[in-house]
Amino acid sequence: MTETISSKVLIEWIGILVIFSIISAIGNVIGYHYPFMESLVGMLILCGISLAGLIIETYTPWDIPSILYISILGLLLALPISPVSDFIIYYTTRVELISLTTVLLAYAGISMGKDLGDFKKVGVKGVVVTFFVIFGTYVGSALIAQFVLMYTGMI
Amino acid sequence: MDIKNKYTPDTEDLIKSVKDYKLHFTILFAVIISEYIGIITLDFMGISIVLMPLLYSLILAVAFYLAKPVYWIKEKQSERSSAIMMLLIGPLLAKLAIASGQNIEIIFNAGPAILLQEVGNLGTIFAALPIALLLGFKRESIGMTSSICREPQMAVVIDKYGFTSPETRGFFTVFLIGTVLGTPFISLLVSILAYVLPLHPFAFGMACGIGSASMNAAAVASLSTIFPQYATQMEAFSGMANLIAMVTGMYVYIFVAMPLTEGLYKRLEPPINALLKRKKAKKESC
């Protein structure tokens, strides 16, 4: 489905991503002692890639979610043959991966607020099943990875 | 589809949320405190449990929502935060993708393992379906346990079972809990498993790529605290595994995971149901 992004939406996307960049950069200074400006540039690169992914999703006819465009774009830009890879890698390593989840989960906590009633309804049972879903997915993958890594002689 | 709107950024909410500076300052405050506390490693009976700043920021944010003095964080902010969250997944994925692109050589060497470990994602069915049935869930359990319940599977489950079906309801239960609690949970889980299971850090790293960016990041960060010497490789492997999980997720779900869950459900449901009934009867008779 092709549609056009109104300039209003585009400005809001950029607004949120800039706010996210600033908060994350401050988090990186406090938690990991990276220079603020370098972290901020790193964040703006990551947000630029996201924005590109969102725009590509809107203007391409097929039904592929933006998360795939973002992943592939990030991967290509960082490949050793990419002319901008050194620049991108230098600045994005000034952003700790985990610092982004700290900000994300702060928003998640606030957004959880309105769903607290739903959580109570689902109750402990739903939480237990969810934990087993994650546990099963993770352990299943780890066991197969170990087996194949040993078989192919990588470890 | 109105439920999809609930979980994709609502333009109205987004437009208002940029200007909601009180919300962003509150988030900044939570982040500063959380990052200041930093990573804490607790020793518990020989197992090191890694506590991540994301855990504190989640708890602080919930506390701010509930605290009466913080009157500027209300239901409206809660809705805006949901819209914002969806947008913030992008930079996280970009960061993971860059780690993969940068280390493409070691990824090629580990290619077979990264591809095949995706099959392990089906482990959820065997681990969680019996538990769900024992807890008394019926058809809901199929939606709940057939996948990690992220975006790639969402459309499929609605399409196949219908919007108001128990399967879809089950799916959204796990989706919702996983979105918020899944991330802190997996960060604790991997730090415990790293001590309990004698597997190589590479295997632990790859397994983190389960198709959810935030869970991936949290799990890798915990592992990096425990095995700092392998941090780069683990981040690269997990980023690639996550990308593959997202690309293949929908197809594996349709052609493998769903039939497998249905089959196992047919085998397990009658005996477990009988067991639960007997237990109930016993309880009533005494």
B59 close contact with A: CB closer than 8 A:
yes
Distant-in-sequence, close-in-space partners of B143: CB < 8 Å, separation ≥ 6: B149, B157, B161, B165, B166, B167, B168, B169, B170, B171, B172, B173, B174
Whole-number pLDDT of residue B139: 94
In chain A, residues with a C-beta closer than 8 Å to the C-beta of B17 are: 12, 16
Do A98 and B53 make contact, defined as CB atoms within 8 angstroms?
A: yes
Mean residue pLDDT of chain A comes to 89
Whole-number pLDDT of residue B12: 66
**pLDDT class of A94 with cuts at 50, 70, 90:** very high
Helices (H), B117-230: 123-134, 140-145, 151-161, 166-177, 183-196, 201-207, 213-226
Q: Which two tokens stand for residue A108?
A: 């998640």
- Alpha carbons within 13 angstroms on the beta-carbon side of residue A64 total 17
Distant-in-sequence, close-in-space partners of A70: CB < 8 Å, separation ≥ 6: A49, A50, A52, A53, A54, B90, B93, B94, B97
Which pLDDT tens digit goes with each residue over A46-88? 999 999 999 998 888 887 778 888 989 999 999 999 999 999 9
How close does chain A come to B191, measured CA to CA in Å?
12
Q: Is B41 helix (H, G, I), strand (E, B) or coil?
A: strand
Alpha carbon B279 to chain centroid distance?
A: 33
CA torsion sign for B152, B157, B163, B167 is: negative
Res. B11: pLDDT tops 70: no
Whole-number pLDDT of residue B3: 39
How many domains are contained in chain B?
Answer: 1
B30 close contact with A: CB closer than 8 A:
yes
Which pLDDT tens digit goes with each residue over B20-74? 888 999 999 999 999 999 988 888 777 778 888 988 999 999 899 998 888 898 8
Task: Quote the percentage of chain A above a pLDDT of 90.
Answer: 62
Which pLDDT tens digit goes with each residue over A4-25? 677 878 888 899 999 999 999 9
**CB-count exposure of residue B122 (10 Å: 0-12, 13-18, 19+):** buried
In chain A, residues with a C-beta closer than 8 Å to the C-beta of B87 are: 13, 16-17, 20, 50
For residue B217, the enclosing domain spans: 2-285
Whole-number pLDDT of residue B104: 86
Res. A100: pLDDT tops 70: yes
**pLDDT class of B4 with cuts at 50, 70, 90:** very low
**pLDDT class of A1 with cuts at 50, 70, 90:** very low
In chain B, residues with a C-beta closer than 8 Å to the C-beta of A90 are: none
Interatomic CA distance for residues A115 and B113, integer angstroms: 39
Res. B10: pLDDT tops 70: no
Tell me the CA distances in angstroms from A153 to A147, B223, B235, one per residue in order: 10, 22, 21
State which residue of chain A sits closest to B72, comparing Cα positions. A110
Interatomic CA distance for residues B64 and B127, integer angstroms: 35
Res. A2: pLDDT tops 70: no
Mean pLDDT for A99-126 is 85
User: Which pairs from B193-199 meet CB under 8 Å and 24+ separation?
Assistant: B193/A138, B193/A139, B193/A142, B194/B222, B194/B223, B194/B226, B194/B227, B195/B46, B195/B47, B195/B48, B196/B47, B197/A139, B197/A142, B199/A142, B199/A143, B199/A145, B199/A146
Do B177 and A119 make contact, defined as CB atoms within 8 angstroms?
A: yes
Pick the more confident residue, A2 or A78: A78
Res. B13: pLDDT tops 90: no
In chain A, residues with a C-beta closer than 8 Å to the C-beta of B182 are: 130, 134
How close does chain A come to B237, measured CA to CA in Å?
11
Do B202 and A131 make contact, defined as CB atoms within 8 angstroms?
A: no
Annotate B136-167 with DSSP letters as a single string.
T--THHHHHHSS---HHHHHHHHHHH-TTSHH
B212 close contact with A: CB closer than 8 A:
no
Res. B126: pLDDT tops 80: yes
Whole-number pLDDT of residue B87: 86
Whole-number pLDDT of residue A98: 87
In chain A, residues with a C-beta closer than 8 Å to the C-beta of B81 are: 107-108, 110-111
Phi/psi at B163 (5° precision): -65, -35
**pLDDT class of B9 with cuts at 50, 70, 90:** low
Whole-number pLDDT of residue B108: 84
Whole-number pLDDT of residue B74: 85
Res. A102: pLDDT tops 50: yes
Whole-number pLDDT of residue A126: 93
Which pLDDT tens digit goes with each residue over B140-163? 999 999 999 987 788 788 888 987
Q: ipTM of this model?
A: 0.89
Q: Which residues of B252-265 are buried (b: 16+ CB within 10 A; e: fewer)?
A: bbeebbbeebeebb
**pLDDT class of B6 with cuts at 50, 70, 90:** very low
Q: Which two tokens stand for residue A26?
A: 């401050």
Mean residue pLDDT of chain B comes to 88
Which pLDDT tens digit goes with each residue over B82-100? 888 878 888 988 998 898 8
DSSP state of B70: -
Do B219 and A80 make contact, defined as CB atoms within 8 angstroms?
A: no
**pLDDT class of A35 with cuts at 50, 70, 90:** very high
- Alpha carbons within 13 angstroms on the beta-carbon side of residue B46 total 3
Q: Which two tokens stand for residue B168?
A: 């879809």
Q: Is B179 helix (H, G, I), strand (E, B) or coil?
A: helix
Pick the more confident residue, A112 or A135: A135
